[in-house]
Chain A
Amino acid sequence: MKIQEADAKSLLVEQGLPVPGWEVVRSAQEARQAAERAFAGGASLVVIKAQVLVGGRGKAGGVKVAPDADAAEAAARAILALEIKGIPVRKLLVGPAADIVREYYLGAIVDRVSRRIVVMASAEGGVEIEEVAKVNPGAIHRLEAHAHLGLLDWQARQLAFAVGLGGAHLKDFVLIAKGLVTTMLANDADLVEVNPLAVVRETAPDGTTLERLACLDAKITLDDSALFRHPALEALRDLDEEDPVDRQAREEGINFIKLDGSIGCMVNGAGLAMTTMDLVKRAGGEPANFLDIGGGARADKVAAAMRLILADPQVTAILVNIFGGITRGDEVARGLIEARAVQARDVPMVVRIVGTNAAEAATLLEANHFATASSLDDAAAKAVAAAQAAAIAASTAATGRGPGQ
């Protein structure tokens, strides 16, 4: 689960990391007031940042600085009018803009290759780390932290020296790097990223300046499998940005991902569900969704899955592919029969059920006049043919003339 920058920053602050202050606002007027408070606190510039769960905010015009309250209000208005990668901007972060001396990258990930926490640091901060990895992989310094021990002091020092943050900033860097891993462990995050981590210049009221490290941006991804033990973090889910269909699927406990095609797919098992999509494409069709009803799915879950598929108006044919192991074929067949009796619209359906209780399923499906298929390839071909026939029928209805007339 992705969370917004402001929420990620709160999690860093909880672990004692240095993050400049901020407020989250939802209107230009509120942005103005937040800016006024920042200026009153001594800021000479404020930053206004779109809060959306997609990357590339800066390039899209979603991050601006302003020298006074009027400019802040105007900038906020402009950003709130944006859609960034299809997401309308609804919230803004407003805070004092830092006087940046130099930017660094610092991140921690759950690494699937080493099966350890990998902490990465780079002196090339403020740009996307994937870009640095492509252009100058040697600039990224990595080391492994033990999940039981966290990042050790000497490891953090090693990273500090590697990116040139020894000397005056050494102690702070060690605290921040260890804090990143602590943040990961405390919240079951699979990614904690501070980019940029920056050396910033601050001016005291007496005019003297000092330089210190600060976390200017934060990105955290939480492990969905661990949310059950973090009820407070579940509340950070941004429902504004969640597609309503995704939300319905999540609440029904069904793995569902909407795609752009016309053939709805219902499958048990994630690997087989992906394969079914791939074979639809191979047979000349386009899958409308990924849907895994999971192991041991019963009739009511099948009916819920059918509702999700049919809620997509683009769906003109449905392919059901079940390889029964834990899942019993006759249960699925019963679910399909129930679902069809109450479904909102009639869509051609091709059903293939093999494995556990396949013979009972076949009897039920035949008695209820379902189109069936024996092999997966055959099922995909039949579903694609049905979708193509539906497309021809639709164009005929639209023009009032049949093909060839």
Chain B
Amino acid sequence: MSILVGRETRLVVQGITGREGEFHSRAMLDYGTRIVAGVTPNKGGQQALDGQVPVFDTVAEAVRKTAANTSCIYVPAAGAPDAIEEAAAAGIATIFCITEGIPALDMLKAVEVVRAAGARLIGPNCPGATSPGRAKVGIIPGSVHREGGAGVVSRSGTLTYEAVQAMTDAGIGQSTCVGIGGDPIIGTTFLDILKLFAADPETNAIVLIGEIGGSAEEEAAAWAAEHLRDVPMAAFIAGRTAPEGRRMGHAGAIISGGSGSAADKIAALEAAGIRVAGSPTEIPAILRAAGYRD
């Protein structure tokens, strides 16, 4: 198995004819992801990626003709919430939104639509997810991975690559790596992903990579303390040196009103029995000390 993406993934790429969409679709195809369709309004009937992928005008048509079940969105911020809503309305079960810079109120509305449709949204402002050896959806470089049993969930992009590379170098492969996104309003939280990993028979260890802002790490820690006692875990929290009241690049990475600090999150994780690495390179050793076996 694996979670969210795998051999059963039939991907439709929204914005496939754009610069980003085309570039990353090529990388996904090279990795082995089954891209069954692309969507760009008014470009229906064309072929993308040198004739490998048919383009449709609407997601509904793509779903009807190709049985797409997963979507990946590379549409610019002004149009991305609409793309999310279109995917949800078309019956797509898992929607990844890579786009950065979507207004928060637009996301509140999109999340309501996704909820009503019973779909799952990952992101926005996220790098996507990879199940090594099976499929990758999004922008994570395929080269950092190795097949294995550790699940990785992170709010970050390049920091995730750094941590995953450290695991791969140390011989710890991954079942699925998921970037949930750096925005304040995201579709899927740490807690949601922990529950998916807990139910996945092939995931036998979990790495959580958080950062300052909000309280999602604390919520995840509280749940893990109760439900993941037997699962080897390690965590990393970015932003120990971040000043209060400033947005650190990610719209969601801000310590405000004294809450959301790295110290609070580290304390919550440690209290849940999850060791927090001082550097991403320490993650493999912490996993092994927590009982991870290759």
A-to-B contact residues, CB < 8 Å: 110, 112-113, 115-117, 130, 146-148, 184-185, 188, 190, 223-226, 228-229, 255, 257, 259, 267-275, 277-282, 287, 290, 292, 295, 323-326, 354-356, 375-377
Contact = CB atoms under 8 A, between A and B. Distances in A.
Contacts of A277: 241-242
Contacts of B214: 112-113
A273 B248 contact: yes
Contact of B249 (A190, A281, A290): A290
Interface string B236-265: 101111110011111111000110001000
A223 B112 contact: no
Interface residues of B, number: 60
Given A112-B214, A148-B109, 19 more contacts: A190-B105, A223-B104, A223-B105, A226-B105, A229-B78, A257-B243, A257-B248, A270-B248, A270-B249, A271-B155, A272-B156, A275-B279, A278-B239, A281-B241, A282-B278, A290-B249, A323-B162, A325-B139, A325-B157
A292 B240 CA distance: 17
B127 A270 contact: no
B242 A290 contact: yes
B203 interface: no
A377 B108 contact: no
A395 to B, nearest CB: 25
Contact of B211 (A146, A255, A271): A271
B163 to A, nearest CB: 9
A11 to B, nearest CB: 15
B197 interface: no
Contacts, number: 159
Given A110-B105, A274-B211, A277-B241, A376 B281 contact: yes
Contact of B103 (A225, A259, A273, A356): A225
Contacts of A225: 77, 101-104, 251
B134 to A, nearest CB: 20
Interface string B188-209: 0000000000000000000001
Contacts of A185: 105
A257 B250 CA distance: 12
Given A115-B185, A146-B112, A375-B281, A325 B240 contact: no
A353 to B, nearest CB: 12
A292 B215 CA distance: 23
Most chain-A CB neighbours within 10 Å: which of B102, B103, B209, B214? B103
Q: Which 3 pairs show the lowest CB-CB distances between chains A and B?
A: A270-B249, A271-B156, A269-B158
Given A115-B111, A277-B242, A290-B248, A270 B162 contact: no
A42 to B, nearest CB: 39
B126 to A, nearest CB: 11
A113 B159 contact: no
Contacts of A274: 159, 211-212, 238-239, 241-242, 248-249, 253
A143 to B, nearest CB: 15
Most chain-A CB neighbours within 10 Å: which of B162, B249, B250? B249
A269 B156 contact: yes
A228 B185 CA distance: 19
A326 B212 CA distance: 24
